[in-house]
Amino acid sequence: MTDNDPMVAEALPINGIEICADTFGEPSDPALLLIAGGASSMDWWEDEFCRRLAGAGRYVIRYDHRDTGRSTSFPPGAPPYSGADLANDALGVLDALNVHRAHLVGLSMGGALAQKIAVERPHRVLSLTLMSTAAGPSESTEATPQEPDPSWADRRTAVHRLVAAVRETGGPFTADEPQLRRLMERVFDRTVDMTASQTNHWCCASGPPFRHRLGSITAPTLIMHGTLDPLFPAAEARALQAEIPGSRLVWLDGVGHEFPPAAVWSLVIDEIIAQAAPNPAAGAAR
């Protein structure tokens, strides 16, 4: 795994499956783990975004969730795992890379996974940055098997649907259609089973609830939220801030429910770097 060819990623044996991960920067720098949203491979954390984080002196780690990218894929429609397993995969990536403590950056579903880790494994978390997300579940949900949509296996159809979905939940800063199409083609080409990828995260069980424990989070927490987010309105961000003691809320004007568009990278990266400040204890804890 190298900065010059960031997609020379490594398949790591984790929790009985393989998780594909990629790094930028020096392992001796403070570790920063990027946790993507549901049905999202690590491609959504764009290469240049990761390089800029690493250029500020952070060891940046991104990975494919199970059922995304090059990680292990399961038959679509009835995944044999829960949200708890997805959170354990994130910790497994850190273990495989010999990182004991990390700054966590989670977006959407990834933000919920980061909250869960901070609640249940606080000794692993140096700080939290929660983006385009809401407070974790207050009750468990059961698995809800779904009938897979085989049209996801068609490259042209899948790329068109992914581009349309991003534009529907984005804002005025969302990338233009040609740029989005290039990204979605890359996502499709790296994904083991696109039908499973676009189905299984949405029908797996949530795992044990943890919202009632958010008040126990002690890691410094930053919340960044788009003012135009149609999935999680502003009230959700304020509720999350109220749940986590001492958390700080930064609004991203003109941003929808999306990975940070390039127009706001400078603000987002500056905020993440400030949040993921070097910690003298981090190196000793590796």
Query: What is the set of active-site residues?
Result: 108, 229, 257
What sign does the CA torsion over 122, 127, 130, 131 have? negative
d(CA 146, CA 202): 9
Tell me the C-alpha to C-alpha distance, in Å, between residue 260 and each of 66, 71, 157, 191.
22, 23, 25, 22
List Cβ neighbours of 269 (8 Å cut-off, separation of 6 or more). Answer: 49, 52, 53, 56
Distance of CA 67 to the CA centre of its chain: 14
Distance of CA 125 to the CA centre of its chain: 15
d(CA 133, CA 117): 15
d(CA 260, CA 272): 12
d(CA 116, CA 275): 19
In the chain, what are the helix, strand and coil shares in percent, each to the nearest 5? 40, 15, 40
